[in-house]
Structure 1
Amino acid sequence: MGRIVAITNLKGGIGKTTTVVNVSAGLALKGAQVLLVDVDAQGNLAMALGLKPRRTLYDVLVDGKRPEDCLVNARPNLDLLAANESLLTAQPELARRPDWARVLEQALRPVRSKYDFILIDCGGSLTVLNLNALTAASDVVVPTTVEPFSIKGLEMLVKQIIQLKGSTSSLRAIVPTMYDPRTRQSVALLEQLQAQYGAQVTPPIRVNVRLSESSAQGKTIYEFDPRSRGALDYAVLVETLSTLWNFKPPAAPLSAPSPNGAQAPVASPEVHPLTPAPLRSAASASTPAPVVAGAGSILSSTCPICGGPLQRATVAGYRVAYCDHCRYRQQELVSGPRR
């Protein structure tokens, strides 16, 4: 059965939809079958993917349509069950049902086995459908900006998860978004998050205007600007979540799209832009070899902060080395300027 992941926060404007779009696109590029479900009446998912679906989640929940008849193919391996303002009228009706908290879970049941991941984009409040999403979810991912009010909202959400599900075991990841390492407040609040939630805090998504520009153009960041910091950060997040969920990509995943929408060839058949580079064999583990990156520079194989092994990935024009233990990250652009 597909893993149902609710991506939620009680605060709006913190990068939920951007995270849903680019995490799902990254998983699809790795070869996963992914379904996106929008439970927010603003319908931002369809706009961020450049789509105008004819049927929406309203047709499934209220009119009783089959979910497979209301899906639209957004990208290879990536389907969408969209939303629009009609959900505003649907929620009072759903609230009158005796099984109101499990309406969404029951609606997704016929298609769940067809997908590796079902990602639900939640709105910025505890609506009936957001509670449905949390009830249906096996995993909860919480994007949060590195700001005081957002972190306070995170604490409230954790309490709601405990009240609804009995524990925080479903809270898999907290994703710091709009992180600006140049400001003391961002650095201090990120350290506070890491101290409070430990390994649940993923590597942060840095401030990058290309992320908002890509959504405005109806493209994923990998399509719009695969060399941007936003593409790099979300690709690393995809790797982090894939490891967390123990997702094993198929033998021949999709190549990353070029900015003009075409599928760009992968430089090596063994290395995919959203797949970690092959690890060294056990025989060579005693003599770590550096990873040669662009312009002859070198990415080390051990973390200079904690001394642990560095994970490696080739990501949208970058070679990246990052440490899962202390969050150290180093990247080199293979060619061309960074924007």
Structure 2
Amino acid sequence: SIYECIIDHADPRDAIYTTDIEGLDIIPSHIDLVGAEIEMLNLPNREKVLTGILSPMKNEYDYILIDCSPSLGLITVNALTAADAVIIPVQCEYFALEGISKLLNTIKIIKSKLNPSLEIEGFLLTMYDSRLRLANQIYDEVKKHFQELVFKTVIQRNVKLSEAPSHGLPVILYDTDSTGSKNHLALAKEIIEKDK
């Protein structure tokens, strides 16, 4: 798991899970990752551990996606330091502009101190349900505030999307035909088109 790569300096290639989808490999997370932040405190260059792990693999993939919580802890700092760009998810269940501003400030700090090439790829609206007035208000507010930085793709509220993590799979492996899978594939296409 990624935990072993971080703490035990294991080769990340040994942790790769090859999926049935051509070109899609996964390094799964593990419950032990919860303790990794504490164990990383005494490591030299602790903010750049993930950069060191991913560097040897960067030329082997077109994209490396790092999914991490917005907790702004050491794991997230590592992810932002290792990344070229960040996708900022915004749940359409409540508009936490204060939380977004804190994340943007963290990105600004990481960019100035640890990773000058870090860019914002875009804002991604998630948990969207067009039947809800609040979801539509949030959609409009995010579009108004962040304009061209908002992805056209919206991740709709979807049962299969919510179930997938408990089965240890990304939604496109859990249920390829689900709305969540289709939304994520549309997002991937949008990112690829944008990066051409």
TM-score by length of 2: 0.84
* Identity fraction in percent: 28
1:59 corresponds to: 4
Give SS of 1:205's match. Answer: strand
1:1-339 alignment runs, 5 A limit: 56-75=1-20, 76-166=22-112, 170-202=119-151, 203-217=153-167, 218=169, 220-221=171-172, 224=175, 226=177, 228-246=178-196
CA RMSD of aligned residues (A): 2.3
Question: What are the Cα deviations for residues 248-271 of structure 1, in whole angstroms up to 9, with x where unaligned?
Answer: xxxxxxxxxxxxxxxxxxxxxxxx
Alpha-carbon shift at residue 141 of structure 1 (Å): 0.6
Distance 2:106 2:86 in 1: 12
Q: In structure 1, how many angstroms separate the alpha carbons of the residues matched to 2:117 and 2:84? A: 11
Higher helix share: 2
Q: Distance in 1 between matches of 2:93 and 2:73?
A: 24
Task: Give me the whole-angstrom Cα distance separating, in 2, the residues matched to 1:193 and 1:78.
Answer: 31
1:121 alignment partner, SS class: coil
Q: Residues 233 and 219 from structure 1, CA distance in 2 versus in 1: closer, same or farther, beyond 3 angstroms?
A: closer
Q: Which runs of 5+ in 1 are unaligned?
A: 1-55, 247-339
Contact 1:67–1:108 (CA<8 Å) still a contact in 2?
yes
C-alpha deviation, 1:216, in angstroms: 4.6
Q: Encode CA deviations 1:176-204: one digit per residue, 9 max, x unaligned.
A: 01112222221121111011111111132
> Could you report, residue by residue, the CA deviation over 1:153-177 in whole angstroms, capped at 9, with x for unpaired residues?
2222111111221389611111101
For residues 114 and 124 of structure 1, do their structure 2 counterparts lie closer, same or farther at Cα, with a shift above 3 Å needed?
same
8 Å CA contact 2:88, 2:123 repeated in 1: yes
Q: Secondary structure at the match of 1:86?
A: helix
2:162 & 2:191 partners in 1: Cα distance?
22
Distance 1:168 1:100, change over 3 A: closer
Residues 102 and 172 from structure 1, CA distance in 2 versus in 1: closer, same or farther, beyond 3 angstroms? same
Amino acid aligned to 2:148: A
User: Does structure 1 conserve the Cα–Cα contact (< 8 Å) formed by 2:80 and 2:118?
Assistant: no
Q: For the Cα contact (< 8 Å) 1:145–1:151, is it kept in 2?
A: no
Report SS of the residue matched to 1:65: coil
Kept in 2, the 8 Å contact 1:162–1:168? The answer is: no
> Which protein is bigger by CA-based radius of gyration?
1
Shift of 1:93: 2.7
CA distance in 1, matches of 2:65, 2:28: 12
SS at match of 1:235: helix
Give the number of equivalent residue pairs: 190
1:101 deviation in Å?
Answer: 1.0
Change (3 A) 1:219 1:62: closer
The secondary structure found in structure 1 opposite 2:19 is strand
Asked if structure 1 preserves the Cα contact closer than 8 Å seen for 2:94 and 2:134, the reply is: no
Distance in structure 1 (CA, Å) of the matches to 2:79 and 2:40: 13
Gaps of 5+ in 2: none
Q: Is the 8 A contact 2:95 2:138 kept in 1?
A: no
Residues 58 and 182 of structure 1, relative CA distance in 2, 3 Å threshold? closer
Partner of 1:36: none
**Does structure 1 retain, via aligned residues, the 8 Å contact 2:72–2:103?**
no
Secondary structure of residue in 1 paired with 2:124: strand
Matching residue's letter, 2:190: T
